[in-house]
Structure formats: C-alpha cells, structure tokens
Structure 1
Amino acid sequence: MKIGELSRKAGIATSAIRYYEEQGLLAPTSRTPSGYREYADNAPERLQLIQTAKKLGFSLEVIRDLLDLNGKCSIEKTMRQTSILLQEVEQQQAALARQRASLLALRTVLMNHGAGHPVEGVCAEHFTVN
C-alpha cells in the first residue's frame, strides 16, 4: 500500500509516517518504478503500536529497540523497559506529592496570616519544597 492509503488506514499524517521511517521505526517494503513508497499490509498495526507506546511514555529510541522488522516486540525487552518507565513515573509521582504538600502548607500559612496584612518574610520562610 502507498503512503496515502497507509495514512488513512492508520489515522496518522504522512509526515509522521515519513518521520518514523527516518527514525528507523518503519520501512517501506519497496518502491514503485515512479518512486512511491510501498508498505507492508501490517504497517497500520505497526504504526498503531508505535503510537500506543509513545502515549505510554516510551521514547522512539526505545520503541525502535523493542520492535523487530515484522512489527513484533520482544517480551523480555518490553518488560525491562516497562520496569524502567514505571520507576520513572513513580519518582515523578513522589516529587509531585512533595510539591503538593509544600503548596498546601504555604496556602495554610498564608490563610492563617490574614488577608490585608503585609506578608513580608512569611512567603520567604515558607517557599520551600521538601
């Protein structure tokens, strides 16, 4: 199938398909005599897999490493990369929880200080993130 048909079937812009090709994530199976790219029948599924992996937070470099030429992914590699990504998400969640706690504490201090009163020093004392 040509790139336009692949774009319609996968719901992905032709520019994105070309970008994925440049990144080594998708390759045309051949070219027509006039130079048009021809893609395999499984190309729409491969593009959907790439899009899903991106939404989950995998980088294109990692996705390239996970997929073989037939569009199948290595379970072992995917498990390893999933564990790494989960650890990163957990670290981000912990940082956000600390930030939230600090913001709540600051808001409480400011509310207790009273409206209309100068807050010199109050903000400086409490603008800390644990």
Structure 2
Amino acid sequence: MTRLSFPAFRTLADRLADELPPDLTRNLNGGILAVPKRVKRGGYWILGEYVEDLMGRTVYLYHGSFRELFAGEPREVWEEEIRETLMHELTHHLEALAGVDDLGQAEEEEFGPL
C-alpha cells in the first residue's frame, strides 16, 4: 500500500515527463506541472488538465486527486496512472495545436460538461 507524498509524486511526474518525445511537448510553453491540489467536477476526480490561456499552454497533474483515487495502490499503479494522464492531456494539447477538439467532444458526450 502506497500513499505517495507530494514531493515523491512530483519527482515521479517529472521523470515520466522527461521520458516523453520532445515532439509531444512542442509549444507546451507552461510545461507539465504537478500541483498538490485535488479537483472534483461533476462528481468526478480530475487527475490532470490541459489549460490554454493567456499565460500559454500547460498540463497540470493534481496530486490530491490521485491521492483520493489511488492512496492504497502500489507505486506501479501510480506510475501507470500518471503516464496515462500525461498522454491523455498531451492528446488535448496536440489536438489544440491542430485546431480540433475531438477528445474534448468525446469527454463531453461521455461525462457531460465538467
């Protein structure tokens, strides 16, 4: 059973982000940031988020939300979930660069507006 501390979560997220091919993070000028907060919308824990605003393009990973869902899981589960969340949020990023939002539309169809 693992309850990954925020510093350990941030270190793991940084390592996984460093393993990504540079083309996936092109124009992600805000970077990939692990933050301690937890986010819940529409009854769902939000593990990560791609944000495009006046400050640029950023992927956020929410440690508190991961802790809510995976507190009792082994480190390997945390690592796989962080990796999956990174790829999901980078899909949003790449679609935004291409001028489409297919993943966002699919999420809205499945979960409704969050």
User: Same fold by TM-score, threshold 0.5 exceeded?
Assistant: no
Larger helix percent: 1
Normalized against structure 1, the TM-score is what? 0.28
Larger strand percent: 2
Rg (Cα) greater in structure: 1
Which of the pair has the greater relative contact order for Cα pairs under 8 Å at 6+ separation? 2
